[in-house]
């Protein structure tokens, strides 16, 4: 009975929407679902921040809006007219802030989701597509899948050439860095503690998305003995781990750690190897988990293996922001970003 009604509604919706949509082809998304793609894709609804960032880098004009409104200081590093597009909520994740009626009212040609391809999100994609009649493509959000995800997004939006350029940049960056890291012997790979929160006591456990790029670089995450996501640890535990390098996203922590008598004992602090991650316009280390982590990979590589990677991070940043964020930052702006300021 229930399924009958659902089929009926789905059928009705499809009939009502059919005249507007002409499907040129189907594209198989990262979850193996065949997604029908209209001839013309002009309006794309991003399901969450990773999708919005990825779409902005490839085809900013298609982006209907942002899951959360950007702040003015972030818009310095983005196309101003796109950056100020409205807040439209998010479909996936813990808080489903987008109303499906609002999604429909925005008349998107497709809904784009980038992230986990686990059963939860596959079923969410199927359900939203059935309810709205709008093709819902789910792409792989893992860090090492950035290149294939760009190629897939190129197919979905009919922007294959531009997507290929970005995918190739990602491939080359990862290949260059991987080759450099492979030259470094196991013994010279630092033990890294990733610090979040104002006290620096939130950290990413083994296999968590937070430390994906640190893992990619072959460094040892000190908290990796436990698998999981984010967790709290005690200062005693950090002293026991005694990491060689601390990477943090928290400005307060980075500012205070040098003068804190407890943290002063940690090797990383004594050696001056506490690094505050840049965060403008999007974080460089973990969140949001999108292509913004690619420039962060260069930054981390240089921090972890300074001798192996002599490249100028300012030049790399300029190049990345031009290719991906469509802006040409000034030297002063790049300095501002690299200092980890807001």
Binding site for other proteins (CB under 8 A): 49, 68, 93-95, 97, 196-199, 201-202, 205, 223, 225-226, 228, 230-237, 239-240, 249, 252, 260-262, 265, 283, 286-288
- Pick from 130, 118, 109, 127: nearest CA to 46: 109
Are 196 and 203 within 8 A, CB to CB? yes
Q: How far is the CB of 277 from other proteins (least distance, A)?
A: 12
Minimal distance, residue 164 CB to other proteins, in Å: 29
Q: How far is CA 288 from each of CA 84, 265, 270, rounded to the nearest angstrom?
A: 18, 32, 31
Nearer to other proteins, 70 or 173 (CB): 70
Closest CB 98 distance from other proteins, rounded Å: 13
Q: Which is nearer to other proteins, 161 or 234 (CB)?
A: 234
- Angle, CA of 248, 273 and 342, to the nearest 5°: 35
> Quick count: other Cβ atoms within 10 Å of Cβ 39?
11
CB-based contact 180:189 (threshold 8 Å): no
β-strands 136-140, 34-38: how paired?
Answer: unpaired
Helix, strand or coil, per DSSP, at residue 299: helix
Give me the least distance between CB of 280 and other proteins, in Å please.
14
Least distance from other proteins to the Cβ atom of residue 163, Å = 26
- Asked if residue 100 lies in contact with residue 79, where contact means CB atoms within 8 angstroms, the answer is no
Q: Name the token pair of 324.
A: 């991906």
**Residue nearer to other proteins on the CB measure, 5 or 94:** 94
Question: Closer to other proteins at the Cβ: 27 or 205?
Answer: 205
**Judged by CB, which is closer to other proteins: 129, or 292?**
292
CB of 288 to other proteins, least distance (A): 6
Return the number of the residue (8 or 262) whose C-beta is nearest other proteins.
262
Interacting residues of 91 by C-beta distance below 8 A, sequence separation 6+? 45, 47, 48, 98, 103, 111, 113, 124, 128
Query: What's the closest the beta carbon of residue 262 comes to other proteins, in angstroms?
Result: 5
Q: How far is the CB of 271 from other proteins (least distance, A)?
A: 16
Q: What's the token pair of residue 267?
A: 């090797």
Count of alpha carbons within 13 angstroms of residue 99, beta-carbon side: 3
By C-beta, is 168 or 227 nearer to other proteins? 227
Nearest CB to other proteins, comparing residues 60 and 197: 197
H helix runs in 28-145, sequence order: 49-58, 72-75, 80-83, 100-105, 119-132
């Amino acid at each position: 009975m229930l399924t009958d009604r659902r089929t009926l509604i789905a059928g009705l919706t499809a009939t009502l929407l059919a005249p507007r949509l002409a499907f040129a082809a189907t594209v198989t998304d990262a979850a193996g679902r065949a997604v029908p793609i209209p001839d013309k894709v002009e309006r794309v609804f991003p399901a969450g921040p990773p999708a919005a960032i990825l779409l902005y880098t490839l085809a900013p004009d298609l982006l209907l809006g942002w899951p959360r409104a950007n702040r003015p200081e972030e818009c310095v590093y983005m196309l101003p007219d796109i950056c100020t597009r409205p807040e439209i909520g998010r479909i996936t994740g813990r808080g489903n802030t987008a109303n499906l009626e609002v999604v429909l009212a925005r008349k998107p040609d497709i809904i784009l989701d980038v992230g986990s391809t686990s059963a939860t999100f596959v079923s969410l994609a199927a359900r939203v597509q059935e309810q709205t009649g709008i093709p819902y493509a789910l792409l792989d959000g893992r860090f090492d899948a950035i290149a294939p995800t760009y190629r897939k997004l190129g197919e979905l939006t009919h922007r294959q050439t531009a997507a290929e350029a970005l995918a190739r940049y990602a491939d080359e960056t990862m290949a260059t860095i991987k080759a450099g890291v492979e030259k470094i012997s196991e013994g010279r790979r630092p033990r890294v503690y990733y610090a979040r929160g104002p006290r620096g006591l939130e950290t990413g456990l083994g296999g968590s998305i937070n430390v994906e790029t640190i893992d990619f670089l072959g460094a040892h995450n000190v908290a990796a003995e436990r698998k999981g996501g984010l967790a709290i640890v005690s200062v005693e535990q950090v002293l026991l781990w005694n990491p060689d390098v601390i990477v943090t996203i928290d400005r307060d922590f980075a500012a205070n750690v040098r003068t804190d008598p407890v943290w002063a004992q940690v090797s990383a602090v004594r050696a001056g190897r506490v690094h505050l991650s840049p965060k403008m316009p999007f974080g460089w280390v973990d969140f949001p988990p999108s292509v913004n982590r690619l420039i962060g990979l260069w930054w981390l590589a240089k921090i972890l293996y300074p001798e192996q990677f002599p490249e100028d991070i300012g030049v790399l940043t300029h190049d990345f922001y031009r290719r991906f964020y469509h802006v040409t930052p000034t030297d002063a702006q790049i300095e501002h970003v690299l200092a980890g300021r807001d």
